[in-house]
């Protein structure tokens, strides 16, 4: 009740704040204080309901349907906290929370630059829409409100349904908040662009937008790639990017934001691309909303493994209305100002830096359009674009982007004497050509791959050259070069780990060595892990891989979970990183093979197992059901209590079986021997002449497991992760540099005004 009422109040506060901010701009800015106070109250309120939900999650208050549906008592504390945003309702609240956090820093920023009224009017309007989402999809609905015909008011379930096992990973704690922080930050260039055009300050607004765009692009890029690493090490896809529609939906705004960053820098220097930057700023935010629409409206539930299920027609319409409202707002302002734009037309010299930066942005936009069309196609046609098509379409564009970036660094603004830079370009290109030829003899023999490698190496050499040049002056100037260097490393890592990896499906019998790509692969044994958690049966398989003078043990995981009633197994890959490659073992299935060997054990007798002399078994007793007639379709349960001695480790276990009353045969449930690759089960009973169970014998049967895997090696995939790290570091160094320059300029202005 408290949470629901609070959301309604916050909706009213955000609407009122937006309305008063608009009035303040068009009437009198004295109303700013009222609107500002309402927004601050909104911030406090969102923090309150977030804390309220989190407190109830920690205290396992399963009266709330959302908490019951996504959490359980078995979750570790970190994962328990992450159930805050595991579902649609919580993700809307997380987005609202990030919007308010960004707003706390945005408010004094725009107030200082006299943009408060218009910017915050739009910003609080966006928050209003998110509050409507929370009213419609509330995380504070009680379980008896969700199931009015099945559950009585006040009912408290003993435990929750639990989180999807696929999400039970430490990246779940890290990835979504970073991604939504990026989404929230991309809101700022949008509202600044509209404010700048309404105020006819077509050049001024970009000075305020550039640091926000840098921050948003850096954070969103980090979030996307953390998601890629999560998929790589957890989902068993064999890669970090599957071109899944929901993955793409977060990539598109990042691409547009990256293109916008470069065109903003061009406008700052040349005062050109005014309309372009406005349109890109609007498009970036709209594509964030579009990404939310794709992910949470249910429209991609049949074509994406990430998409949420259908949330209902009303939420679908709300998300669509959210998108259309701000599309019309952006287009409306552009149309209103279009004929009266006080800007001069600027023609870029093809030998200038601004021309090549604009060309690079166009290439990024082409990639965005390709990904957008491929992602949106399932909405209008029952088809899904395969990943190889995305790769084929974008590969030549990536080559051009890398070359354009490298060449642009040698060019001057406005115009360049090409003769003066020809020598420098020639040296870098020559070194790149030699390296590419060397890689040709190493196996890179495809023309398109050779061109990609050449362009990436060329970009790396040029960016390192400029890094070295400017780091001697001040490291703050190296941000852009480091980001481009990181992107080039990423491209090479993606190429090598994708195009030059190979995989093979293998069926591994226990302690039987098989070969693949020069490696010897042996399934050694398995061990049960997370024994303290009663909602799962989880085994880690130990697979030895020998080759290239090294021996490693990979640990793929197979487990059953109460989440799907132990019906179908979940799989996690075993990944072992080496200097030159990753060994990647993705489990596909576990097949049981029965052994004809049997072992007869008398009461209180100890025998060694015939298939393993290091293990002995002692029969302690039998137990049968008291019922005289089994239910139709069911046998009579019987069990044997057996003590196992596994190399000195004693355990007492119950072997369950079921007697078929028509045939007299037993249907055993096979039991795992700890630390061994085989199973044992009660396959028959021998009651002897007396028919007395106290004189009976247990006949044990054995079975082994065949582990079916997809074995692959991925050359130099670590370049992907290192490249992303440099990419993100470069963004934040650029932010630091930009803010340092702004502070210096403010000091100069203040000094001049005081004289």
Please write the tens of the pLDDT for every residue from 554-602: 999 998 888 887 778 899 999 998 888 899 999 999 887 777 788 999 9
Q: CB-based contacts of 611: which residues, under 8 Å, 6+ apart? A: 595, 597, 678, 702
Please give the Cα distance from 174 to 476 (Å, whole number).
28
Q: 71 with 184, same domain?
A: no
Q: Do residues 531 and 598 share a domain?
A: no
What CATH code is carried by the domain that includes residue 657? 2.60.98
* Residue 734 domain flag: no
Name the domain count of the chain. Answer: 4
Q: How confident is the model at residue 635 (pLDDT cuts 50, 70, 90)?
A: low
Q: Clarify whether residues 201 and 241 are in a common domain.
A: yes
- Verify that 346 and 198 share a domain, yes or no: yes
| pLDDT, tens digit, 9 for 90 and up, residues 650-676 | 988 888 888 877 777 788 888 888 777
pLDDT tens figures, 85-136:
988 899 999 999 999 999 999 999 999 988 999 999 999 999 999 999 999 8
Same domain, 663 and 532: no
The helix-helix angle for 187-198 and 171-185 (nearest 10°) equals 0
Contact status, residue 610 vs residue 671, Cβ threshold 8 Å: no
Answer yes or no: is pLDDT of 296 > 80: no
What is the rounded distance in angstroms from the CA atom of residue 418 to the CA atom of residue 310?
58
Q: How confident is the model at residue 743 (pLDDT cuts 50, 70, 90)?
A: low
pLDDT tens-digit readout, 179-207: 999 999 999 999 999 999 999 999 999 99
Residue 245 belongs to a domain = yes
User: DSSP assignment, residue 137?
Assistant: S
- What are the beta bridge partners of residue 709? 506, 587
Q: What are the structure tokens assigned to 380, written together? A: 């209008």
d(CA 655, CA 644): 11
Residue-by-residue DSSP string for 282-305: HHHHHHHHHHHHHHHSSTTTTT-S
Give the pLDDT confidence score for residue 312 in this predicted structure. 58
Residue 55 has which token pair? 């407190």
CA–chain centroid gap for 569, Å, is 22
Q: Are residues 205 and 332 in the same domain?
A: yes
Average pLDDT of the segment spanning 380-385? 76
pLDDT band of 690, cuts 50, 70, 90: low
Residue 490's nearest CA partner among 452, 462, 464 is 452
In the listed set 136, 163, 190, which residue is the last one of a domain according to the structure?
163
Residue 630 or residue 446, greater confidence: 446
Q: Over pLDDT 70: what percentage of the chain?
A: 93
Q: Which residues contact 289 (CB under 8 A, 6 or more apart)?
A: 319, 322, 323, 326
Among residues 330, 350, 370, the one where a domain terminates is: 350
Question: What is the mean pLDDT of the segment spanning 507-529?
Answer: 90
| 125/594 Cα distance (integer angstroms) | 65
Contact (Cβ atoms closer than 8 angstroms) between residue 717 and residue 581: yes
CA atoms of 581 and 579, how far apart (whole Å): 6
Q: How confident is the model at residue 317 (pLDDT cuts 50, 70, 90)?
A: confident
Whether residue 110 lies inside any domain: the answer is: yes
Q: At what angle do helices 387-410 and 447-471 cross, to 10 degrees?
A: 40
Judgement on whether residues 133 and 183 belong to the same structural domain of the protein: no
The reported pLDDT for the residue numbered 286 is 94
Confidence of residue 7 (pLDDT cuts 50, 70, 90): very high
Asked if the model's pLDDT at residue 21 lies above 80, the reply is yes
Share of the chain above pLDDT 90, in %: 53
DSSP structural state of residue 342:
-
H/E stretch holding 124? helix 116-136
Where does a domain end: 311, 327, 350? 350
Over 391-455, what HEC string results? HHHHHHHHHHHHHHHHHHHHCCCCCCCHHHHHHHHHHHHHHHHHHHHHHHHCCCCCHHHHHHHHH
Nearest by Cα to 462 from 440, 488, 490: 488
Residue 522: both structure tokens together? 């042996």
pLDDT of amino acid 305: 46
What average pLDDT score do residues 694-707 get? 86
- Are 153 and 254 part of one and the same domain? no
**Same-domain status, 47 and 193:** no
Q: How far apart are CA 89 and CA 70, in angstroms?
A: 11
Domain for residue 497, yes or no?
A: no
Cβ atoms 636, 661 nearer than 8 A? yes
User: Among 660, 658, 742, which Cα is nearest to 212's?
Assistant: 742
Together in a domain, 667 and 646: yes
Tokens of 181: 């922080």
Q: Specify the pLDDT at position 691.
A: 66
Kindly tell me the burial class for residue 154, based on how many C-beta atoms sit within 10 Å of its own C-beta (0-12, 13-18, 19 or more): exposed
Averaged confidence pLDDT in the chain: 87
312 or 449, which is more confident? 449
Around Cβ 360, how many Cβ atoms within 10 Å? 23
Q: Give residue 579's pLDDT.
A: 85
Q: How far, in Å, CA of 233 to CA of 576, rounded?
A: 10
Band the pLDDT of 748: cuts 50, 70, 90.
very low
Q: Is residue 172 part of a domain?
A: yes
Q: Is 90 part of any domain?
A: yes
Give the domain range for residue 608.
590-625+635-711
- Write the pLDDT tens digit of every residue in 222-277: 999 898 888 888 876 667 888 888 788 899 999 999 999 999 999 999 998 999 99
Domain assignment present for 478: no
Answer for the pair 211, 185: CB distance below 8 angstroms, yes or no: no
CA proximity to 425, closest of 334, 356, 344, 514: 356
- Which pLDDT score, from 0 to 100, does residue 279 have? 95
- Residue 429 near residue 406 (C-beta atoms within 8 A): no
Q: Are residues 199 and 127 in the same domain?
A: no
d(CA 220, CA 188): 14
In this structure, what is the dihedral angle of CA atoms 74, 78, 80, 82, given to the nearest 10 degrees? -140
Whether residues 31 and 93 share a domain: the answer is yes
Quick one: pLDDT band at residue 460, thresholds 50, 70, 90?
Answer: very high
Q: DSSP secondary-structure letter at 555?
A: -
């Amino acid at each position: 009740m408290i949470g629901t009422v609070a959301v309604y109040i916050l909706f009213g506060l955000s609407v009122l704040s937006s309305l008063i901010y608009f009035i303040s701009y068009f009437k009198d800015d004295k109303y700013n204080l009222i609107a500002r106070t309402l927004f601050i109250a909104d911030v406090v309120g969102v923090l309150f309901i977030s804390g309220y939900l989190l407190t109830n999650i920690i205290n396992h208050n399963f009266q709330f349907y959302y908490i019951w549906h996504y959490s359980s008592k078995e979750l570790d504390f970190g994962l328990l906290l992450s159930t805050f945003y595991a579902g649609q309702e919580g993700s809307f609240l997380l987005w609202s929370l990030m919007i308010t956090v960004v707003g706390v820093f945005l408010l004094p920023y725009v107030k200082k630059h006299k943009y408060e009224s218009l910017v915050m009017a739009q910003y609080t309007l966006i928050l209003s829409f998110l509050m409507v989402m929370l009213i419609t999809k509330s995380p504070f609905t009680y379980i008896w409100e969700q199931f009015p015909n099945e559950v009585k008011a006040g009912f408290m379930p003993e435990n929750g349904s639990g989180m999807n096992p696929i999400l039970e990973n430490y990246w779940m704690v890290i990835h979504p908040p970073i991604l939504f922080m990026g989404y929230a930050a991309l809101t700022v260039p949008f509202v600044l662009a509209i404010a700048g055009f309404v105020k006819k300050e077509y050049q001024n607004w970009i000075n305020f937008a550039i640091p926000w765009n840098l921050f948003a692009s850096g954070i969103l890029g980090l979030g996307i790639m953390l998601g890629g690493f999560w998929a790589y090490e957890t989902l068993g896809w064999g890669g970090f990017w599957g071109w899944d529609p929901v993955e793409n939906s977060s990539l598109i705004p990042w691409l547009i934001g990256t293109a916008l960053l470069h065109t903003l820098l061009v406008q700052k220097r040349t005062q050109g691309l005014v309309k372009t930057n406005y349109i890109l700023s609007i498009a970036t935010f709209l594509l964030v909303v579009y990404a939310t629409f794709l992910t949470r409206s249910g429209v991609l539930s049949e074509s994406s493994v990430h998409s949420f299920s259908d949330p209902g027609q009303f939420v679908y319409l709300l998300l669509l209305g959210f998108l259309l409202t701000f599309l019309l707002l952006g287009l409306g302002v552009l149309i209103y100002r279009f004929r009266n734009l006080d800007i001069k037309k600027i023609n870029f010299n093809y030998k200038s830096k601004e021309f090549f930066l604009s060309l690079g942005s166009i290439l990024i936009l082409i990639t965005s359009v390709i990904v957008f069309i491929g992602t949106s196609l399932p909405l209008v046609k029952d088809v899904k674009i395969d990943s190889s098509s995305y790769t084929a379409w974008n590969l030549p564009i990536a080559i051009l982007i890398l070359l354009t970036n490298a060449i642009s660094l040698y060019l001057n603004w406005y115009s360049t004497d090409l003769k003066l830079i020809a020598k420098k370009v020639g040296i870098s290109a020559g070194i790149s050509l030699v390296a590419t030829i060397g890689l040709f003899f190493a196996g890179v023999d495809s023309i398109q791959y050779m061109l990609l490698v050449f362009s990436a190496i060329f970009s790396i050499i040029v960016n390192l050259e400029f890094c070295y040049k400017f780091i001697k002056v001040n490291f703050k100037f190296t941000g852009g070069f480091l980001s481009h260097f990181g992107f080039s490393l990423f491209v090479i890592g993606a190429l090598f780990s994708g195009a030059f990896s190979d995989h093979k499906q293998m069926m591994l019998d226990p302690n039987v060595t098989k070969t693949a790509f020069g490696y010897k692969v042996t399934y050694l044994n398995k061990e049960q892990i997370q024994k303290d958690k009663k909602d799962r049966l989880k085994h880690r398989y130990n697979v030895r891989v020998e080759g290239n003078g090294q021996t490693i043990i990979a640990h793929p995981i197979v487990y059953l979970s109460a989440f799907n009633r132990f019906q179908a197994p979940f799989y996690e890959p075993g990944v072992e990183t080496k200097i030159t490659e990753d060994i990647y073992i993705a489990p596909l299935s576990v097949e049981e093979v029965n052994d004809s060997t049997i072992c007869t054990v008398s009461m209180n007798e100890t025998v060694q197992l015939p298939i393993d002399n290091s293990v002995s078994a002692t029969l302690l007793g039998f137990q049968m059901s008291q019922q005289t007639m089994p239910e139709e379709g069911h046998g009579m349960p019987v069990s044997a209590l057996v003590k196992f001695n596994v190399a000195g480790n004693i355990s007492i276990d119950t072997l369950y079986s079921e007697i078929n009353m028509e045939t007299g045969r037993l249907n055993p449930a096979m039991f795992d021997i700890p630390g061994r690759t085989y199973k044992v089960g009660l396959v028959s009973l021998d009651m002897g002449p007396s028919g007395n169970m106290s004189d009976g014998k247990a006949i044990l049967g054995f079975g082994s497991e065949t582990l079916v895997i997809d074995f692959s090696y991925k050359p130099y995939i670590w370049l992907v992760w290192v490249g992303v790290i440099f990419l993100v570091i470069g963004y934040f160094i650029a932010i630091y540099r930009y803010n340092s320059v702004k502070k210096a300029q403010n000091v100069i202005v203040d000094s001049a005004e005081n004289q």
